[in-house]
Structures are given as C-alpha cells and as structure tokens.
Amino acid sequence: MLAIIGGTGLTRLSTLAIARREVVRTPYGEPSSALVFGEIAATSALFLARHGHGHTIPPHRVNYRANLWALKNRGATAVLAVASVGGIRGVAPGELVLPHQIIDYTHDRPATFFDGGDRTVVHVDFTHPYTPALRQTCLEGAAKAGIALADGGVYAAVSGPRLETAAEIDRLDRDGATMVGMTGMPEAALARELELPYAAIAVVVNHGAGRGDSGDHISMESIADVLETAMEKVRTLLEHIAPLVQEYSTGAK
C-alpha cells in the first residue's frame, strides 16, 4: 500500500476517500498525526500529515522515526513524500521536482533505528537515497497526468526552522545542491533502514535566500500563493501515481 507523507500545504488530501483513521503508538513515541486510510483513484493508500493536522509541528520536532515505523507497521509498501523547498539552481517557484540525491546538513535529530544497545551495528547503503524504481513510477504517473515533474535534483536538508542566509544558499549551491528543504532527512534514511521504497515530490515555493525575487527577503505571502496552486497539481499527480505504485509494489509491474 502506498503511503503519502504530506508536508506544508498538504495536511489533508481531498483526493483521498477516507475509510478510517488510526492513532498508532510506536516504540519511538507518537507519530505526527493519526494515519488516514482510504483510496486514491480506487487504490488503497495511507496518509500522514508530517507537521500534524493543524500544522503545529516544526521540521526539527517531527518524530521521523515514529512516522516511518507507524507507516511500515500498518502496511505501507512504498512511501511518497511531498515536501516544499526553496530553489537554488535551475528551478523556479511553482515547479515540481523529483530529486535524485540528498546532502544532509541536519543536526540534533534522532536519525537511525540502529542505535546500538542490544542491536548489531548496521550501516545501510544510501548511494541512491531515493528508490530508483519508485522514482521511475512517479515519472510515468506524471507523464500520464500531463504534469511537468522535473527529473532529478539535489536536495539539501537543513535543520531550520529559520530560513537560510544568502551566504548559506551560495554555499549549498557550491556543494551541488539545487534545492533546500527542512524535512528530507532523516526521513529518507529511515525509510531505507526499514527497507521501504521512498521517493519525494519537491514543490518549489520560493527562490532560495538572496536569489531571484528572494534577493532582499523571502515573502511568506508569495509562498502561500505558490503552495496553493502547486498542491492542486500534486493532488492530480498523486491520483495518477497511486495506481502505478500499487502495481509496482505488488510486483505486477
């Protein structure tokens, strides 16, 4: 079953015909919200609001371990994350991007299920942080939906919650990052540790600090405007991706 983790601007999924909600307890504490079970385009799916239903949990306080554990425990076989980002290079507000790489700058977040104690030491392979086959499925869904989804990008994960300085954005650019967001890690790595295929749809909501129309400051009003239109596209995209993921994760494809 496909699990969707909705970020800023996607705390509810109107395309999901809701069957039930479930509050899940985990060995890692409370997930961000109840899990919502339902159907998208006649395909069963599971939805979790990353920042809580009322959007009250900031990126550095999201319980990423509880979220991923709960999804796996309740039957998720693939995870599609939706996350808003600032654009650094080659992307503009309003665009949807399917990143293929990550650079992790986050700190002070519990970032692994393999935390010592009585467990053997495990180092998961993370060469390709986003599952290539799931990415491919997303691209096919986008083509069917007729929605532009840029193939590839390097996601810089920062702790936030403040936005970056212009110099920080320049540094991320020099490092090779093309977009910046606050929730991509450890979410992707935890999915890998649980052997859950994972991909992300990044919604570019602003130019990074110091760039383009964020030259002087980043406007929250324009972010809100961009989010609203872009999330409509994301909903349509999900309707086309969900049935394909179902085929993919049942091995029918």
Residue 197 touching ligand HPA (CB under 6 A): no
- What 3-state class would DSSP assign to 102? strand
* Minimum distance, C-beta of residue 107 to ligand HPA, in the bound complex (Å): 15
How many Cβ atoms are within 10 Å of 161's Cβ, its own excluded?
10
Backbone angles phi, psi at 111, to 5 degrees: -120, 10
List the structure tokens of 210: 């110091």
Residue 206 touching ligand HPA (CB under 6 A): yes
- DSSP assignment of 163-180 equals ---HHHHHHHHHHT-SEE
Residue 187 touching ligand HPA (CB under 6 A): no
Residue closer to ligand HPA by CB (options 129, 181) is 181
What lies within 8 Å, CB to CB, of 105 at 6+ separation is 156, 157, 158, 159, 172
Residue 205 touching ligand HPA (CB under 6 A): yes
How many Cβ atoms are within 10 Å of 147's Cβ, its own excluded?
15
Residue 93 touching ligand HPA (CB under 6 A): no
Nearest-CB residue for ligand HPA: 86
Residue 181 touching ligand HPA (CB under 6 A): yes
Residue closer to ligand HPA by CB (options 206, 249) is 206
Using CB under 6 A, pick the residue from 11, 33, 84, 178 that binds ligand HPA: 84
Residues near ligand HPA, by CB under 6 A: 84-86, 158, 163-164, 180-182, 205-206, 208
